[in-house]
Each structure stands twice: as C-alpha cells, then as structure tokens.
Structure 1
C-alpha cells in the first residue's frame, strides 16, 4: 500500500516539478538558481501529502518506518521522473542549462559537466536527499503519539 501511494504522489510531485520548470523557462527565469528553492517546496508538499494519505489509509495507525518509506518512495519516484524529463530536455536543445550550471561551479574545475553528471549530481542527489529530510521531519509530526508495545495490555 505504501508503495502505491508513493508512486501516485511521486508522479503528482514530478508533474508539479515539471510544470514549475516549464513555467520558469517560459518566463525566462531558469537562470536564477535561487528559484530552485521552490522545487523543495513542491517536494515537501508531495511528500507530506503522501504520508498523510498513507496515514488515512491505515486508519491513523501509521508506523514510523512505513510513513518514512512512503515519503522516500515519493521523493525517489518524483526525482527520477523529473531527472528523466530534464535529460530529455537537455538532449533536445537545452544545453544552455548545462552551461549555466557549469558556470556556477557546482562541479569544481576538474569534472566535465555532461548532462549525465549534471542530472545525477544536481537533481538526483538534491531531490532524493531533500525528500528524505522532508520525510524525516514530516514523520516527527505524523508518528503515533502513544508509545505502547503493540498487543500489550
């Protein structure tokens, strides 16, 4: 059940990330790196909604690691889909994005900024790590308030 919810909300979160990127592209704001902060906001909304949906599915008896797993699945799915979209975007004609990220010296002076390196380091690591942290923080709120051993009187 948690995987199904994670896939659903991962897909919805990826759509949000793609729409946001395309909106920034149309408005000519892709070069403003600081606006990537809103990718984290979109990820946070997706992860929290996924955990909340899972909690509702299990009648508010959410296990800590199941909830955390739901958030992580959501983050990995959304980041993977968004990364595939970005690789396609760069391959089709968005090489200026790779050059811009290289100019920002994300990769140091020795690493050649190929689309694969950019997508893996910037998007995958950033998305999965931020998604994990968001899921961890969200589970502090969603975890069960009672700390009883299941089945104990």
Structure 2
C-alpha cells in the first residue's frame, strides 16, 4: 500500500491546530491574538515533515516537493476551518463568533462564512509561503549534496 504522506501530515496539522485552539479556549487564552499566530508553526511543521519525507525517499524535484508541501498545508488548513465551523456552532454560533471577531482582524459584524473564508485564504497564503521557504532550505541542502 502506497503511503500518502500529504494526507497523513495534513491530518497531523489539523489535529495539532485543533488541540492548540481547544487548549487555548480551555485555559481562557482564546482572546490573545499573539498566541493565535503560533498555529503557523504547526502548519510549518506538517509541511516540513512532508518535504523531508520526500527527500528521504528520493523525491528531489523542486516543483513536486513544493506542490506536495503546499498541498499538505492547504489540506490541514481546510480541515482546521471545517473543525472551526463545527466548534463555533457548538459554542453558540454567531454570539460566540462575535467574541472571536472582536479580538481578531475583523471590524464590524461578520458571519461564520466570512470569518472562515478570510481565515482559509490567509491559511492558503501562509501554506504557500511556508512551503516556498522550506523548499529554499531543502533545495540548498540538495545542491550541497550534489557538489560533494
């Protein structure tokens, strides 16, 4: 059976983000914006694991690994957004969303779809940037290996 590392690490990102935000909510830290930005490291870790796995298994094509890392991040973010939608509905829907949006980058009244849409596109952009940065690191390692 072929191992699908993108799916595996995408689910790992989803679980990491979900656990992180559940713990933040449990400890009453959900309103701390600077802590919310730490989820980027969870996404980067999942992308890193995918790219590293590809290099270990002999896949050294730059674009293939860039796309694989990007797809891992997008999958994790997408699953995380679906989890967020469920979580918002469990916590009270629009009334809970208003407490989140007051402390985030949103101004005025928004709905769940707008909130999650903006977060999804932000996550996609972060995944692309993260995959690109990590590929710069791995690309330089591969060049060093080939010159030895």
TM range, smaller chain: 0.7 to 0.9
Q: TM-score, normalised by structure 1?
A: 0.83
Count residues in correspondence.
140
Mapped to 2, the partners of 1:88 and 1:26 lie a distance apart of 16
Residue segments in structure 2 that go unaligned for 5+ positions in a row: none
Structure 2 residue aligned with 1:63: 61
Q: TM-score, normalised by structure 2?
A: 0.85
Mapped to 1, the partners of 2:41 and 2:92 lie a distance apart of 24
Residue segments in structure 1 that go unaligned for 5+ positions in a row: 149-153
Structure 2 residue aligned with 1:120: 117
Q: 4+ runs of 1 displaced by more than 4 Å?
A: none
Mapped to 2, the partners of 1:101 and 1:90 lie a distance apart of 9
Q: 1:129 aligns with which of 111, 125, 131?
A: 125
Q: 1:74 aligns with which of 72, 80, 92?
A: 72
Q: How does 1:129-148 map to 2 (within 5 A)?
A: 129-143=125-139, 144-145=142-143
RMSD between aligned residues: 2.0
